Amino acid sequence: MKISTAFLFDRATSQMSTVQNRLAKAQAQMAQGKQVITPSDAPDQASTIARMKGILEKQNSYLDALNSARNRYQSEETALSNVNSALIRMREITIQAANDTMGPADRQALAIEMAGLRDQVMSLANTQDENGLYIFAGSRVKEPAFAVASNGEFVYQGDQSTMNILVGDQRTVQLNRSGADAFQRVVRQDVDGNNYGVGFFQAMDDMVNAVKNSDREAMNRGVGEMDNLQIGIGLALAQIGTDMNVLDSQQTVLEETNLRLKTTLSDVEDLDYAEAITKMNKEMLALEAAQSSFAKISQLNLFNYIN
């Protein structure tokens, strides 16, 4: 079969440019370290890569949610453990005040210290986060959780709503503790024998007044109630501790998932340097061979031999 001169040249040129294209692509891949530089390089892989990147982003956002939950727990824990210390001190004072050897004047001094502690605990119960929102107020976060009404009563101004957030595809954690849950009420019996609840701060206030007025019965009652108040705070702290453990284990899970996803993504997207360099060498060899063979063959012409 005859090969025309034009065909000979055209064919050689197009083949050389094909090899050059492959070389250029290999060089670009190696410079960026990726096998798939633009989605059009591997159109069938483009959707897989997009999906995996999406899942990775979602895991990262769960990690962010975890961190904000952890910050919240830590501020609640700090506040509650300070409350606990104050309550312990208050209990000491109460027992000291209940002692018969104390005189009314001494008790007045103790009552002043107790009042100070009560106010400290109240300000801890009204802790604010970095945005100025009250963390123990349930969902009524713009107002302090506990306040003193005009008639001197201690009222809880928040509500009992609990907020949950997602920290994993199927995992929710409770973000807040409402003031009513953390600062639990105590139960007293009225004259008919019926139980009725008395708020946390009201009980503390009653205690302070009892010491101030040297009311023996109320002071004895107050000692028992102080124990109950501490139990309530202790329970809340335990719950926070448990939740923080949950966060930690969830973080481990998320980080492992992240690693797995990144590995899979890298398999698809990243370049295997050893393979790429070998391929590049092969292409370079092919290009050199094509170029030199073309140089030799193109010079063969019958006219060179006809003088």
Partner 1 sequence: MSDLLSISSTAVMAYQRALGTVSNNIANVGTEGYSRQDVALTANTPSKQGNVYLGNGVRFAGVQRQVDDFVQSNLRNSQSELATQEPMVSYANRVIDIMGGESTGLTSALNQFFDASRDLSADPASGIQRANFLAKSDNVTSRFRELAGQLGNIDDETRQAIEVKVTQLNTLVAQLALVNKQLAKAVSADKQPPELLDQRDRVLQQISALSRITTKFDAKGAVSVSLGDSMQSGLVLEAGFAKPLNVKFSDNADGKVDLVIDLYGKNPKGLASLGSGEVGGLLAFREQVLTPARNALDDLAKTFVSEVNAIHRDSLDAYGNPGGDLFALDGSLVHVSQGMTVALDDPLKIAAASQFRVIESPFNPSPVDAVVSYAAPTPRLPADISVGLSNNPNLAAAKPISIGASQPFAMLTSIGAGTTDAVVYLDDLQAGQQVQVLTREGVHVLGSELTFEAQDMILRQNYGFEANALYSTGYLNQTDELAYRKSDLFLGAKAMPAFGQVFDDAGAPMDGIPLEASLTTARLSALITGDETGQVIAEGALTLNGQSLGALVAKGDVLQATEVAAWLRSTNVPGLTVEASNEIVVPSTQLKLSSSLQLNTASGQRATITAPAGGFASAAALVEAINAARFTSGVEASLNPEGDLVLQNVAQFAGEHITIGPNDLGGAPDNALGLSAGAVAGQITLTRSLADPKDNEIRMALGTNGTAVDLQTIGLRMGVYVQGQASDSYLVMVQGEGTLKAAASYTASTLDPKQALRNEPFDITFVADDRYTITDKNTGTVLSTRAFDPNALPAEVSYRGITLAFTSAPLQGDVFTVDGNHDGVGNNEGALRLVALENMRVVAGGKTLSEAYIQEVSDVGNIAQQALVAKDALTVVHDQAVEARDAISGVSLDEEAAALIRFQQAYQASAKVMQTASTLFDAILRVN
Binding-site ranges for partner 1 (CB under 8 A): 1-7, 11, 38-40, 43-47, 49-51, 53-54, 57-58, 61-62, 64-65, 68-69, 129, 131, 133, 137-142, 159-166, 169, 175-176, 180-181, 184-185, 197, 301-303, 306
Strands 172-174 and 154-156: unpaired
Closest CA to 59 of 238, 237, 255, 219: 255
Closest CA to 179 of 196, 149, 155: 155
What is the C-alpha separation between 55 and 41, in angstroms, rounded? 22
Residues with Cβ within 8 Å of 97's Cβ and at least 6 positions away in sequence, in order, are: 106, 107, 110, 111, 211, 219
CB of 45 to partner 1, least distance (A): 8
In the bound state with partner 1, the residue whose beta carbon lies nearer, of 138 and 222, is 138
Specify whether the CB–CB gap between 247 and 69 falls below 8 A: yes
Token pair listed for 70: 């952890």
CB of 38 to partner 1, least distance (A): 5
Residues with Cβ within 8 Å of 265's Cβ and at least 6 positions away in sequence, in order, are: 49, 52, 53, 56
Sort residue 132 into left (φ over 0), alpha (ψ -120 to 50) or beta. Answer: left
What is the C-alpha separation between 35 and 266, in angstroms, rounded? 9
Closest CA to 230 of 117, 80, 126, 97: 80
How big is the chain, counted in residues? 307
Cα distance between the two ends of the chain: 27
Rg (CA), the chain: 39
